[in-house]
Chain A
Amino acid sequence: MAEKTLAGKTVEVNDEGYLLNRDDWDKDLAAEMAKEDGIELTDKHYEVLEYLREKEAAGESLTIRKVGKSGITDIKGLYQLFPGGPLKLSSKYAGIAKPASCV
């Protein structure tokens, strides 16, 4: 656990940089998190983040396939938006927990 100042706000994050409290999230904070990884957030990125926040709040499990079927973008597009780790990165910028795949 650590504290971090993002977009002028002090928030609690875990050792991988994920917010501990999803209510701390706002768009500026997301932009700053993404910037640290060299990603500039566009409206398309934000649509994905909002979608993830909504689904997570509803208690649904999150998978790349699910986001790919969301109508916002397809899986290929998702990889282009968040290169390297679409779900790992997008969930971090969405201020939610890293989706745990069940064993």
Chain B
Amino acid sequence: MKKLVILGAGTAGTMMANKLRGALDREEWSITIVDQFKTHYYQPGFLFIPFGIYNSHDVIKPKSDFIPTGVNMIYSAIDRVEAESNKVHLEGGKILNYDYLIIATGTKTFPDETPGLQDKLWHKEIFDFYTIEGACALQRFFKGWEGGKLVMAITELPYKCPVAPLEFVFLADAYFTQIGIRDKVDISYVTPMPGAFTKPVATKMLSELLAEKNITVIPDFYIERVDNDSKKLISYDEREVEFDVLTVVPVNMGDEMIERSGLGDDMNFVPTDKETLQSKKHENIFVLGDASNIPTSKAGSVAHFAAEILFENLMSAIEGRPLHAKFDGHANCYIETGFGKGALIDFNYDTEPLPGTFPLPGLGPFGLLENTKINHYGKVMFRWIYWHILLKGKELPVEPLMTMAGKKKVN
């Protein structure tokens, strides 16, 4: 019996378990998936919790609901991978041997990497919305808040779901408008990047939207520490931003297990061939989703598109053929902009987000880099698609590689 082991049963690992169980002969291949947690979180939903649009029960299901029969699910923490001898050591000493390994352990937030972040104001006046605890604590805080300086700050790149903090300030603008205290809330967006976004065409569109909503962007601000007493962010070049309530994207890094295994770079992301998705060091290890260091967004849509490429290449590797499928870094992100509207961006390693229609050229129904109601419905519907189609590894009517069809070139 040959053995395939998947580390991590999040979005990426779960999709792969479903795709592979359908494709690999049960008599010939065992598939094991390991994760320490029993709950699967619909992470795109965390963003809505602070504003009371979703509650925790809207984003939680048991992981076991999505693992197909014929896949061995082990709930355990992972100590380390011993790649030279094709072994995974679980916490407590159990050892799994593998012929092929898929690493899908994702990225985590590490607030303790920024001095003063996880201090006396943590989850009292300083929040994250990348954990269920942070998102729910912020919901409770907002219910009693009467206004002041709201600062959304990004500590470091890369981070999971690059549009989420933008969506957060757009939704905050709408929320405080609807409860009638927008005139008492001052919203700022603090980023280490030179602008609201990295790519020029999308930055222009998003900057205009931010200005229209009276949200101040503070660019090139690289946070050194947070002063809890004076309630200030302090940058490495000694600039300061005051806050009454701070929402933060903490430093993102790969799982500590990657470091213990000696498989990561200095941020614990696994060096991965950006086209084949094979580990750069080990031929029988593939990496899917946020755990890899490929230069594209850390986002579920990327894991979804990449899963199809990884699947092709893993099957080729098993059959001893060359790895012919090449990933292009395709990402597709809905951006909630508040008041029932949304924008959509679609891009890859080489092509920045451009205006146009998606997925059908000229027809849509979704408008790229446009702020429309239908884009918002796309995001609302996506939760159903996620639970029922995406995690189960079923086909969606969207191609894994990005297409220029339906996009307008901008000079």
A66 on interface, CB distance cutoff 8 Å: yes
CB A65 to nearest CB in B, in angstroms, measures 6
Cβ–Cβ contact B222 & A102, under 8 A? no
Segment of B101-109, B118-126, B293-301, B378-386 in the binding face: B293-301
A5 on interface, CB distance cutoff 8 Å: no
Scoring B residues 159 to 194 as 1 if CB is less than 8 Å from chain A, else 0, what string do you get?
000110000000000000000000000000000111
Chain B residues closer than 8 Å to A83, beta-carbon distance: 237
Q: How many A-B residue pairs have CB under 8 A?
A: 54
A38 on interface, CB distance cutoff 8 Å: no
Given contacts A66-B266, A75-B236, contact A102 B220 (CB under 8 A): no
Cβ–Cβ contact A103 & B202, under 8 A? yes
Chain B residues closer than 8 Å to A103, beta-carbon distance: 162-163, 197-199, 202, 296-297, 331, 345, 347, 353
Q: Which residues of A53-103 are within 8 A (CB) of B?
A: 60-61, 63-66, 69, 75-76, 78-79, 83-86, 88, 100-103
B224 on interface, CB distance cutoff 8 Å: yes
* Interface residues of A, Cβ cutoff 8 Å to B: 60-61, 63-66, 69, 75-76, 78-79, 83-86, 88, 100-103
Given contacts A60-B265, A101-B193, A103-B199, contact A79 B156 (CB under 8 A): no
The A contact surface, by secondary structure, is loop
B147 on interface, CB distance cutoff 8 Å: no
CB A27 to nearest CB in B, in angstroms, measures 26
Given contacts A76-B224, A103-B331, contact A69 B295 (CB under 8 A): no
Cβ–Cβ contact A102 & B157, under 8 A? yes
Q: Which residues of B275-328 are within 8 A (CB) of A?
A: 293, 295-297
Given contacts A103-B162, A103-B331, contact A63 B237 (CB under 8 A): no
CB A40 to nearest CB in B, in angstroms, measures 19
Q: How far is the CA of A83 from the CA of B157 in the complex (A)?
A: 20
Scoring B residues 337 to 360 as 1 if CB is less than 8 Å from chain A, else 0, what string do you get?
000000001010000010000000
CB B259 to nearest CB in A, in angstroms, measures 13
From B197, B237, B251, B296, give the contact of A84 (CB < 8 A).
B237
Chain A residues closer than 8 Å to B296, beta-carbon distance: 102-103
Q: How far is the CA of A65 from the CA of B251 in the complex (A)?
A: 10
Top-3 shortest CB links A-B = A101-B157, A79-B236, A79-B237
Q: Which residues of B213-230 are within 8 A (CB) of A?
A: 220, 222, 224
Cβ–Cβ contact B222 & A64, under 8 A? yes
Given contacts A60-B265, A66-B266, contact A102 B198 (CB under 8 A): yes
Q: How far is the CA of A66 from the CA of B156 in the complex (A)?
A: 11
CB B180 to nearest CB in A, in angstroms, measures 34
Q: Given A102-B296, A103-B297, 13 other A-B contacts at CB below 8 A?
A: A64-B192, A64-B236, A75-B236, A79-B236, A83-B237, A101-B158, A101-B193, A102-B157, A102-B162, A103-B198, A103-B202, A103-B331, A103-B345
Cβ–Cβ contact A85 & B220, under 8 A? yes
Cβ–Cβ contact B293 & A76, under 8 A? no
Chain B residues closer than 8 Å to A85, beta-carbon distance: 220
